Amino acid sequence: MTDAAAAPTTLITQALKDSLNVWSEPQVSHPVDHSDLRKWAIAVYWPDVPPKLFWDEAYARTTKYKGIIAPREFNPFAWPAIRPADRAPKPAKRAVGERSMNGGQTETYGVHIRPGDVITSRTAVVKMEERVGKLGLTLYKSTEVRWTNQKGEFVRSRVSISIIY
């Protein structure tokens, strides 16, 4: 157990306060190709045959969608040509506020991704809340990733909660 005198009174730093609802610079996908959707569907449904809606244009035109759509879990950012630099390893001993765990996530879907779409992704911290729990002072930080297509239509959002203690 940590010494009460050494325990912080808040885990919300000024930098974190300043980041609230500040959206990142956009990340833009390459145009989505029919082949991207077909391969994704094959991988997701393997070893079964994926629904024709995701790969058979003639069939997909007969549906209410009037063409191929992406599976909801499709990610046009999954295989970037250039990967971000590796992060430096964290020190073995961590101070209060440096331990974290996944608190879950919520997905919300809008329009379907279709071949030819270009998806833009932006990220922001959208909520912070502190509570005292079994682990002491705990910060619940919600981060949203929001996608839109080239028409500005809402495609998807994921709100992830980080539990920091």
Kindly report, residue by residue over 73-93, the tens digit of the pLDDT: 999 998 766 666 655 555 555
**pLDDT greater than 90 at residue 2:** no
pLDDT confidence of residue 123: 96
pLDDT confidence of residue 13: 87
CA distance 103 to 129: 13
> How much is the pTM?
0.81
Per-residue tokens: 71 = 């599976």
pLDDT confidence of residue 79: 76
Question: Hey, CA dihedral for 155, 119, 86, 127, is it positive or negative?
Answer: negative
Strand partners, 132: 137
Q: Is the peptide bond before 47 cis (omega within 30 degrees of 0)?
A: yes
CA distance 131 to 135: 10
Rounded mean pLDDT of 46-51? 96
Q: Which domains does the chain have, with CATH numbers?
A: 1-31+97-165 (3.10.129), 33-75 (no CATH)
